[in-house]
Every structure is written in structure tokens, then in C-alpha cells.
């Protein structure tokens, strides 16, 4: 048969990469596909480690300064769902950030949980989703004394770090557990900004996507336990419940490699790249609008400088992503209506930043006018009519968008980016919800959960 996937992936190999994975397809690893082995004598067992895997995980925990660390080979999707299962029981109510990753929404179904939402600020001056006021966390916990688990994202896709120390103190004062999805922040522990990493801010469970920001293979992830309140046997039991019984030793080796490399070279490489990025911003001043590191927003503790978020007048972020890909052989991480994001890691060199700078300077000289309609994000307060798990397992059908008003969503409907659900499992579809969906579609933004103007509702 024709090898369609191989053919398309081969076309990517010569591109300049400012997206995940963190190794940027460069020659970092000292192992190859022949190291794809399985559990046998001396190679240990990820689901019951007592040999080389256990020793490696203990070394990783020491590097991060946590109670225990666990390699997860199903990605942070699985790690987050494991984290949720560790500190909840079916029927529990959890407080979660509305713009959490979809894996956490799916985790509500897997673990049979009820959500209460806290919203991140939408900074209208910068058209950017930023942080959360710690006072909002306390308000929610006061109103819902039965909530004992809080799930947050820091840093977010754009590099915005929450005020986690204050938030962790609040959560613990109410006897709760704080889970932090730090998928985009593994590198923070090895940078000058390590104080903003969740592992140093009192979070009880932290999830890292090692493949996103350090040299590691896609799907590699870490689950950190940072409290004595969680029994180690329960950790292994829950990992066994939600992990594959055929773990990839290539992924395991890449996680171990990435952490060892960052522990040895990370600070120097990240500091050097920070200088290259600042030099590039200075050279492009007045031509490209970069997100300011001193953004006046009290919900922000820190903005990660390795996330290069920028705008060019006349372009949408989607336009920039497309033009850099097609005309300059540069792959960015993402674009939205306002911004494009170039993700840098230790794998980037000075010449990579210079090539990006040259391309952006070219774009800034063009008199381009985007065909996309710009709009502000409107977050809709959800009305939960059914538990997410019940909505997922109820019979459903597809209906025309206009006919969905008054019905209950059987799926997540969200615009990507920004990725905040417009409506989710078990929530009421209102006229406002339908208007917002149409606005995104008319703006040229992809809306998942809607196909051919139809969406899935509970029967």
C-alpha cells in the first residue's frame, strides 16, 4: 500500500521548527529504534518498578525536589487523568480552570466527577487569556466547602504563569489538593525562573509534558507527587489502571535523556536563548509587536520568555503561520486571530533565531490585509444540566446548529484557538452559545464539535 503518513512526515524534515516536540528533530539522542525493547531481565517494569526504572525515577524526583516522580508514556493526557483519580472519588465535585486542556474534561467522565469552573482573565487590551485572581479561588472554595481538588494550568499556551504560591496556600488552607497542568513548563525548573514552577510553589501534583519544551520524544510525560498525603501504593495502583501495559522504552529513555541533559546544560542554554530572543525583539522593534514581559495584569506571576508571542499589523496569527510555513519553510506552534506563537527550546541555535528574524522582517514590509474577521473572546457561563459522565453515555443524535437551542450538549464544542469550551458535556445549549459558535465559524476559526453546521446533543 502507499505509505501516506511516511510521505507527509518526510516533507517536514527540512523545516525550521518553532513548535513541539522540544528536540526540534535535531540529532540529540544517543539511542535509536533498536533500543525499542520490552520488560525482560534487567529492564524493569514501568507498572511495578523495582530496578533501573525505579532508580531513574528516584533520580528525576531528586532533580525536581519532589516526593516521587513517575514516567508516563501515554502523554500528559493520561498523566492528568491519573492525577485526578489519585485525589478524588466518583461523585466528587472539583474546581477547575475553564480553559483546561480537553484531557481534563475527559477526566471528568473517566473519574465520574462534577465540575465547578473558575475563569481565567481575558485581557481585552491585549486580546489575551491571562491568569486567575487567587481571590476567585478562595471565593469558590468558600461557596463550595465540599470541593477538595483544584485543577489549574500554569504556564498556559502563551507562557503566562499563575500566582501559584498564593493559590496553593489558599487550597491547602481549605484542606484541598492542588493539581497543576504544567505541560508547557518542564523547562522552568532548569531556568532562571524556576521559582515559578509548580513544583516549587506548593502544588500537590504536577504534570509535565517533557516532549513539549525539552529534548524528549512525543508522548513522554512526568507525574510528580509533591505531598505526603498521597499513598505511594495508590499512585502505582492508579497508574496501572490508566496506563498502557506495553510502555515504550524509547519514550522512557527519551524522558531520562531530556532530564539529564537539562540538569547538565539547561540553565546555560536557556539563558543564551533568552539573550538571542531579546536581540531579535530589539532588531524588530517597530516592525513586529511582541508580548511585553511586564504586561500590567495582576493575575500574572511571570511570562515565560521562551514562548515568543507576537503580532504583525495587517495579519492574523493564522496568516503568519501559513505564510511562514509555505514561503519560508518555518513551522510555528500556533496562530489565532491576533497572535502567532514561536516555541523555543534548548534545541534552538542562534542561526535559527536569525532566520526567524529575517522572515518576520520580510512579512512586516508587506502591505497585507487579513481576510479574517477579528473578534473578542466571549466566555459563556455554563449551565450544567447533566453530569458529564451521564451526558457522555446517554443516547445522542446530531441536529442542525439552529435546532440545538434548549438541548443538552453531548460533546465539547470549542474554537481552537483559544480552546475554551463554548459548551461541554451535559451543558445547556442557549441562543448565546449558538451565536458564539456562528461568530467563530464566520471569523474563519475552526470549531471542534461542529461538522457541516451540525452538533451532537443528548436525546
Exposure class string for 9-20: b at 16+ Cβ within 10 A, else e: eeeeeebbbbbb
Determine the straight-line distance between the first and last CA of the chain, rounded to whole angstroms. Answer: 41
pLDDT band at 125, cuts 50/70/90?
confident
Is the model's pLDDT at 119 over the cut of 70?
yes
Looking at residue 306, its pLDDT comes to: 97
Is the model's pLDDT at 185 over the cut of 90?
yes
Looking at residue 90, its pLDDT comes to: 97
Residue 43 to residue 361: CA distance in whole angstroms = 51
Q: What is the pLDDT of residues 241-267, one digit of tens each?
A: 999 999 999 999 999 999 999 999 999
Contact 218, 74 (CB under 8 A): no
**267-292+305-365: CATH number:** 3.90.1150.150
Looking at residue 190, its pLDDT comes to: 98
pLDDT band at 39, cuts 50/70/90?
very high
Is the model's pLDDT at 375 over the cut of 80?
no
CA angle, 212 then 161 then 285, to 5°: 85
Element (H, E) at 345: none
Looking at residue 439, its pLDDT comes to: 87
422 contact partners, CB below 8 Å, separation of at least 6: 380, 413, 414, 415, 433, 436, 437, 440, 447
Residue 96 to residue 73: CA distance in whole angstroms = 24
Contact 21, 217 (CB under 8 A): yes
Looking at residue 136, its pLDDT comes to: 97
Sign of CA dihedral 293, 282, 361, 326: negative
Q: Where in the chain is the domain with CATH 3.90.1150.150?
A: 267-292+305-365
Q: Where in the chain is the domain with CATH 3.90.105.10?
A: 388-458
Joined together, the cell numbers standing for residue 367 give 502591505
Q: What is the pLDDT of residues 47-105, one digit of tens each?
A: 999 999 999 999 999 999 999 999 999 999 999 999 999 999 999 999 999 999 999 99
Query: What pTM was estimated for this model as a whole?
Result: 0.96
Beta strand ranges found along 232-376 (DSSP E): 289-290, 302-303, 307-311, 330-332, 334-335, 340-343
State the CATH architecture for 33-260.
3-Layer(aba) Sandwich (3.40)
Q: What percent of the chain has pLDDT over 90?
A: 86
388-458: CATH superfamily: Molybdopterin biosynthesis moea protein, domain 2 (3.90.105.10)
Q: Where in the chain is the domain with CATH 3.40.640.10?
A: 33-260
**Residue with the three cell numbers 511516511:** 6
Looking at residue 442, its pLDDT comes to: 85
Amino acid at each position: 500500500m502507499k505509505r501516506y503518513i511516511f510521505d507527509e512526515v518526510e516533507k517536514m524534515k527540512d523545516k525550521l521548527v518553532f513548535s513541539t516536540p522540544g528536540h526540534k528533530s535535531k540529532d540529540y539522542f544517543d539511542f535509536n529504534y533498536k533500543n525499542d525493547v520490552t520488560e525482560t531481565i534487567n529492564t524493569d517494569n514501568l507498572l511495578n518498578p523495582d530496578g533501573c526504572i525505579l532508580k531513574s525515577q528516584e533520580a528525576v524526583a531528586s532533580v525536581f525536589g519532589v516526593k516521587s516522580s513517575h514516567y508516563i508514556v501515554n502523554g500528559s493526557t493520561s498523566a492528568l487523568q491519573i492525577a485526578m483519580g489519585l485525589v478524588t472519588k466518583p461523585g466528587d465535585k472539583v474546581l477547575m480552570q475553564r480553559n483546561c486542556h480537553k484531557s481534563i474534561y475527559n477526566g471528568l467522565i473517566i473519574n465520574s466527577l462534577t465540575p465547578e469552573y473558575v475563569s481565567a482573565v481575558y485581557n481585552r487590551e491585549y486580546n489575551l487569556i491571562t491568569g486567575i485572581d487567587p481571590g476567585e479561588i478562595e471565593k469558590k472554595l468558600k461557596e463550595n466547602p465540599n470541593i477538595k481538588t483544584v485543577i489549574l494550568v500554569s504556564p498556559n499556551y502563551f507562557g503566562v504563569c499563575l500566582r501559584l504560591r498564593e493559590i496553593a496556600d489558599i487550597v491547602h488552607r481549605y484542606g484541598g489538593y492542588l493539581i497543576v497542568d504544567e505541560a508547557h513548563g518542564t523547562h522552568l525548573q532548569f531556568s532562571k525562573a524556576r521559582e515559578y514552577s509548580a513544583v516549587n510553589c506548593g502544588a500537590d501534583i504536577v504534570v509535565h509534558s517533557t516532549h513539549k519544551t525539552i529534548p524528549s520524544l512525543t508522548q513522554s510525560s512526568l507525574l510528580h507527587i509533591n505531598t505526603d498525603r498521597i499513598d505511594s501504593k495508590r499512585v502505582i495502583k492508579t497508574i496501572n489502571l490508566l496506563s498502557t501495559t506495553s510502555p515504550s522504552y524509547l519514550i522512557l529513555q527519551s524522558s531520562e535523556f531530556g532530564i539529564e541533559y537539562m540538569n547538565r546544560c539547561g540553565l546555560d542554554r536557556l539563558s543564551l536563548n533568552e539573550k538571542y530572543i531579546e536581540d531579535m525583539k530589539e532588531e524588530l522593534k517597530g516592525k513586529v509587536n511582541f508580548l511585553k514581559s511586564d504586561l500590567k495584569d495582576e493575575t500574572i506571576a511571570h511570562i515565560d520568555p521562551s514562548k515568543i508571542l507576537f503580532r504583525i499589523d495587517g495579519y492574523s496569527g493564522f496568516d503568519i503561520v501559513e505564510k511562514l510555513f509555505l514561503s519560508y519553510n518555518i513551522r510555528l506552534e500556533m496562530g489565532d486571530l491576533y497572535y502567532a506563537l514561536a516555541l523555543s527550546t534548548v534545541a534552538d541555535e542562534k542561526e535559527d533565531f536569525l532566520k526567524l528574524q529575517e522572515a518576520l522582517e520580510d512579512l512586516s514590509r508587506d502591505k497585507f490585509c487579513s481576510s479574517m474577521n477579528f473578534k473578542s473572546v466571549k466566555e459563556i457561563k455554563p449551565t450544567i444540566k447533566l453530569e458529564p459522565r451521564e451526558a457522555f453515555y446517554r443516547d445522542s443524535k446530531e441536529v442542525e446548529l439552529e435546532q440545538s437551542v434548549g438541548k443538552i450538549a453531548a460533546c465539547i464544542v470549542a474554537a481552537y484557538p483559544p480552546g475554551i469550551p463554548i459548551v461541554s458535556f451535559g451543558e445547556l445549549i442557549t441562543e448565546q452559545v449558538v451565536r458564539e459558535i456562528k461568530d467563530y465559524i464566520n471569523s474563519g476559526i475552526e470549531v471542534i464539535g461542529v461538522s457541516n453546521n451540525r452538533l451532537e446533543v443528548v436525546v
